[in-house]
Amino acid sequence: MLPSETEMKLARVENELSSIQGTLAKEAAADAAARGGAISQTVRAKVRENEKSQMRLVLSHPAFQADPQAALREHMANELAMQKQAHILKKQLQKEKQQKAKVVAFPGGNPQQQQKQQPLSKKDTSSAMK
């Protein structure tokens, strides 16, 4: 019997939640390691439990049960596409921040452009003084 659409949505939400929890636990472990501290048994247990939960979800997924290799290929392709998109968005954000920083630092425009402006001729300065 095929799962209903609601059951599939619920499974996806549970999968996403489990993934987020696993990521948070892994980040906590990485933070502890970066600080030079030992990873606590509690954090290790959370990571282990999240990994077990994630594996159960993968094994019970209909696409994985039908063709494990195809499901893994599709997952990897989707993951790479998401990473590529995230990289592109990060680059765009950095570029926008740099452009905003230039505007704030030089409100009159680019200082190189200001230096390139031609000095006023004698005729222009005499008429400007009147």
How is residue 117 annotated by DSSP? S
- Walk along the chain (130 residues) and give the pLDDT tens digit of each residue: 556 676 766 677 777 767 777 777 777 777 777 777 677 788 788 888 888 888 888 888 898 889 888 988 898 898 888 888 888 888 888 888 888 877 766 666 555 555 555 555 555 555 555 5
- Please, what is the Cα angle at 12 between 10 and 15, to 5 degrees? 110
Residue in the block written with tokens 């290799």 = 69
Q: Is 102 helix (H, G, I), strand (E, B) or coil?
A: helix
- Please report, for residues 9, 40, 128, the alpha-carbon distance to residue 52 in angstroms, rounded to integers and kept in the order given: 21, 18, 80
Per-residue confidence (pLDDT) for residue 123, from 0 to 100: 59
Per-residue confidence (pLDDT) for residue 24, from 0 to 100: 74
Per-residue confidence (pLDDT) for residue 2, from 0 to 100: 58
- Cα torsion for 107, 111, 115, 121, to the nearest 10°? 0
Q: Where along the chain do its domains lie?
A: 1-66, 68-108
* DSSP secondary structure, 18-74, as one string: HHHHHHHHHHHHHHHHHTTPPPPHHHHHHHHHHHHHHHHHHHH-HHHHH-HHHHHHH
For residue 25, count CB atoms less than 10 angstroms from its CB and return exposed for 0-12, middle for 13-18, buried for 19 or more.
buried
